[in-house]
A and B are shown apart, each in its own frame.
Chain A
Amino acid sequence: MATTLFDKIWDEHVIRAMPDGKTLLHIDRHILHDITSPQAFEGLEAKGRRVRNPELTAATEDHIVATTPGRDETTYAPGAEFIRAMRKSAEEHGIRLFGLGDMQQGIVHVIAPELGIALPGSTHTCGDSHTCTVGAIGALAIGVGTSDVEHVLATQTLKLHKPKRMRIEISGALGPGVTAKDAILHIIAAVGAAGGNGHAVEYAGAAVRALAIEARFTLCNMSIELGARIGMVAPDAATIEYLADRPFTPQGEAWDAALAHWRSLATDDHAIFDKEVAIDGGEIAPTVTWGTSPEDAIPVTGAVPDPATISDPGRRATKERALDYMGLTPGTPLEGLAIDMVFIGACTNSRISDLREAARIAEGGRVAGGVRAMVVPGSSTVKRQAEAEGLDRIFAAAGFEWHESGCSMCCALGDDLVAPGTRCISTSNRNFENRQGPGGRTHLASPAMAAAAALAGKIVDVRKA
């Protein structure tokens, strides 16, 4: 029978059907971060349980950390107890920790594939909703809450309802200046913030195949923003090339055997999906959000919509609230909207290709007066690479801040915050109210669009910049 990429991996990992209708699924890789694991270890210890497979588990410190140059675990005081808890648990349970100061530290979803911890054909979980990022290499990667982190630690399994299958096909080619970030924002606007609820999404089509692996991470990263816990792209030659010689990918014979498996994973012709969405890649413009849900995304050439045209009262109230929060009025063009801050970072867009893209725009320019612009690499590895290429100097010369790696202003758990009432163009994935700091106003966009806005002091169309 014709089978999907998702089903092939799911089926291989089924241990048994549970009486409550869920499936007990084996988890091959479990990666922890500082914020969502302390209670899981507490729960484990309260019951005297052990970590079942520490050798399949890894950990990092990324969320509640300072990103100021030269930082350590004491730089950001409120993070200290989380870091302490993480280190103690990792030590006691024999879990490899890529913590602050480690050469390979970084944002959990950036380092998992970058280090070769995550692999195609594997099941991969993390107590974080953006775990879907990792699906870009053809893993079944799923974000969970802390109760499930504890469950995986104790049992190396998850109990899940099998999601439905959804395919989003992007045909044709993306235009000049249009990136994976624009594509996913465009898709979320098309299907809505709940359009993928209950589904595992596979991204397919010529425009997806043409994306470099790092761009596929960006695409899969925001699957959760359309409600899907899983986003995937079938592994292909580009995936294999990306994974070759990563620090922890299989070596020698194991590599050869793995390749044979990975090459068999692509969705079969005629496989059936529960839901299909077709997007024309050529229609996608550089896309920016105006509101407080990622579904509030429009082409940069567009204007803020008018909620008065929405007939559903709940929906209308939601969008009115968003406009009010964002300090915008209907009909305002996005192009020309003055910004105060620029954040280039987060697991959406903080890999080396993202930084190169931003540096290309920033090179020789100058951040506009009164604008604070910062670049936060997704991992310590990315940071070193960027420095080796001189990107840090390009950014510094143009007036951008250059930081240590971490989640930073994406989630405002550390001390990098968008100031109240100020407007930020951000390469992160959530424009929720207060997400980047209390009262902060977020416009999501690609790295190139963010860099161009930094120089102009306002939102501009990167195709004209």
Chain B
Amino acid sequence: MEKFTRLTAIAAPLPNDNVDTDAIIPAVSLKRVGVDITALGEYLFHEWRFDPSGKPIEDFVLNKPQFAAPGILVAGRNFGCGSSREHAAWALLYAEVRCIVAPSFGDIFYNNCFRNGVLPAIVRGDDHAGLMRDVTEADGAAPMTVDLEAQQITAPSGEMYGFEVDPAGREALLSGLDDIAMTLEHEDEIAEFQHRHAAVRPWLYNTRFRVKASD
């Protein structure tokens, strides 16, 4: 996974609440892309960017020339609610949007971001309103900086804001380590757990749907 430490980029405002994973990456693009996820970036917010005839919808923020390639989105409440599809995080990653700032996130999406080098930063209440105003007023003329180590945002105006981030996710982004490898270091404990657990709950282990049924 790509590390995330510090990012200076143009931030686009997307104040809508409850932006769901189907909006971030519509089903139709999953079908077009197939199993090659690197092409997902092209389809980020596809149905918001284009009308059914394929014409760009001019007043959608990411269609404005100054926001053609934002590295950051400043979004509304409950961003990424809905589906577990990691395609939403992949679409952001491959579109090079590496950070979303919002007051809250959908739980599964929040977790998926950390696994893919995308920072979901939480800024609440008045700070969020202030940052949204700042980014909207800057209108892409000045970049914003998000420093994960310091947990600090420097808005386009120079105003500073702190942000919240899950400490485990922060560690993962800063280190870029292989999560599975870290768990596999505990393989002995997993095996020992299963041994102990199977003794008290044998029906959970002696499954009858396995390819080679053992009973």
| A interface with B by C-beta (< 8 Å) | 12-13, 15-16, 18, 20-22, 24, 26, 28-29, 35-36, 38-39, 42, 47, 49, 52-56, 58, 64, 78, 81-82, 85, 94-96, 115, 117, 119, 121-122, 127-129, 131, 143-148, 150-151, 154-157, 159, 161, 193-194, 197-198, 224, 227-229, 247-248, 250-251, 254-255, 257-258, 261, 293, 295, 313-315, 317-318, 321, 411-413, 420, 430, 432-435, 438-439
Given the complex of chains A and B, what is the CA–CA distance between A58 and B211 in angstroms?
A: 9
Contact of A20 among B15, B86, B167, B205 (CB under 8 A): B167
Given the complex of chains A and B, what is the CA–CA distance between A131 and B84 in angstroms?
A: 10
List chain A residues, Cβ under 8 A from B18: 193-194, 293, 295, 318
Q: Is B145 an interface residue (CB 8 A)?
A: no
Is there contact, CB below 8 Å, between A314 and B30? no
Contact of B183 among A24, A42, A78, A317 (CB under 8 A): A24
List chain B residues, Cβ under 8 A from A313: 15
Is there contact, CB below 8 Å, between B81 and A193? yes
Closest 5 A/B residue pairs (Cβ): A20-B168, A250-B203, A147-B115, A145-B86, A145-B112
Q: Is B202 an interface residue (CB 8 A)?
A: yes
Is there contact, CB below 8 Å, between A35 and B30? yes
Q: Determine the residue in chain B with the shortest Cβ distance to A318.
A: B17
Shortest beta-carbon distance from A121 to chain B in Å: 7
Shortest beta-carbon distance from B35 to chain A in Å: 5
Is there contact, CB below 8 Å, between A115 and B209? yes
Is there contact, CB below 8 Å, between A28 and B180? no
Is there contact, CB below 8 Å, between B23 and A78? no
Q: Is B83 an interface residue (CB 8 A)?
A: yes
Contact of A430 among B76, B82, B205 (CB under 8 A): B82
Q: Which of B4-12, B64-72, B189-197 contacts A (4 or more CB under 8 A)?
A: B189-197
Is there contact, CB below 8 Å, between A145 and B17? no
List chain A residues, Cβ under 8 A from B55: none
Is there contact, CB below 8 Å, between B190 and A420? no
List chain A residues, Cβ under 8 A from B86: 36, 39, 127, 145-147
- Once A26-B190, A439-B52 are accepted as A-B contacts, the answer to whether A36 and B22 lie under 8 Å apart by CB is no
Shortest beta-carbon distance from B150 to chain A in Å: 19
Is there contact, CB below 8 Å, between A122 and B204? yes
| B interface with A by C-beta (< 8 Å) | 15-18, 20, 22-23, 26-28, 30-32, 34-35, 37, 47, 52, 76-78, 81-86, 89, 104-109, 111-112, 115-116, 132, 166-168, 171-172, 178-180, 183-184, 186-187, 189-190, 193-194, 197, 201-212, 214
Given the complex of chains A and B, what is the CA–CA distance between A314 and B109 in angstroms?
A: 21
Given the complex of chains A and B, what is the CA–CA distance between A38 and B34 in angstroms?
A: 10
Given the complex of chains A and B, what is the CA–CA distance between A250 and B209 in angstroms?
A: 11
Shortest beta-carbon distance from A156 to chain B in Å: 7
Given the complex of chains A and B, what is the CA–CA distance between A463 and B115 in angstroms?
A: 48
Shortest beta-carbon distance from A118 to chain B in Å: 11
List chain A residues, Cβ under 8 A from B78: 193-194, 197, 227
Shortest beta-carbon distance from A103 to chain B in Å: 13
- Once A47-B180, A434-B27 are accepted as A-B contacts, the answer to whether A197 and B104 lie under 8 Å apart by CB is yes
Given the complex of chains A and B, what is the CA–CA distance between A129 and B107 in angstroms?
A: 10
Is there contact, CB below 8 Å, between A55 and B82? no
Is there contact, CB below 8 Å, between B210 and A314? no
Given the complex of chains A and B, what is the CA–CA distance between A392 and B15 in angstroms?
A: 46
The prevalent SS among residues of A at the interface is loop
Given the complex of chains A and B, what is the CA–CA distance between A255 and B206 in angstroms?
A: 12
List chain A residues, Cβ under 8 A from B202: 254, 257
Is there contact, CB below 8 Å, between B52 and A420? yes
Give the tally of cross-chain contacts (CB within 8 A): 221
Is there contact, CB below 8 Å, between B108 and A15? no
Contact of A321 among B16, B52, B108 (CB under 8 A): B16
Q: Determine the residue in chain B with the shortest Cβ distance to A149.
A: B86
Contact of B180 among A144, A151, A248, A255 (CB under 8 A): A151
List chain B residues, Cβ under 8 A from A433: 20, 22-23, 47
Given the complex of chains A and B, what is the CA–CA distance between A119 and B186 in angstroms?
A: 26
List chain A residues, Cβ under 8 A from B37: 39
Given the complex of chains A and B, what is the CA–CA distance between A20 and B37 in angstroms?
A: 29
- Once A119-B204, A147-B112, A197-B106 are accepted as A-B contacts, the answer to whether A127 and B76 lie under 8 Å apart by CB is no
Is there contact, CB below 8 Å, between B106 and A227? yes
Is there contact, CB below 8 Å, between B76 and A318? yes
List chain B residues, Cβ under 8 A from A16: 186, 189
4 new A-B pairs (CB below 8 Å) besides A143-B84, A198-B107, A248-B208?
A: A128-B84, A146-B85, A154-B184, A197-B104
List chain A residues, Cβ under 8 A from B26: 434, 438
Given the complex of chains A and B, what is the CA–CA distance between A229 and B15 in angstroms?
A: 24
List chain A residues, Cβ under 8 A from B23: 432-434
- Once A36-B84, A144-B84, A430-B22 are accepted as A-B contacts, the answer to whether A317 and B27 lie under 8 Å apart by CB is no
**A-B residue pairs in contact (CB < 8 Å), sample of 25:** A15-B186, A15-B189, A22-B168, A54-B210, A64-B31, A82-B34, A95-B211, A96-B210, A121-B201, A128-B83, A145-B109, A147-B86, A193-B18, A229-B107, A250-B206, A254-B202, A254-B206, A257-B203, A314-B132, A412-B28, A413-B31, A433-B47, A434-B22, A434-B27, A435-B27
Is there contact, CB below 8 Å, between A94 and B211? yes
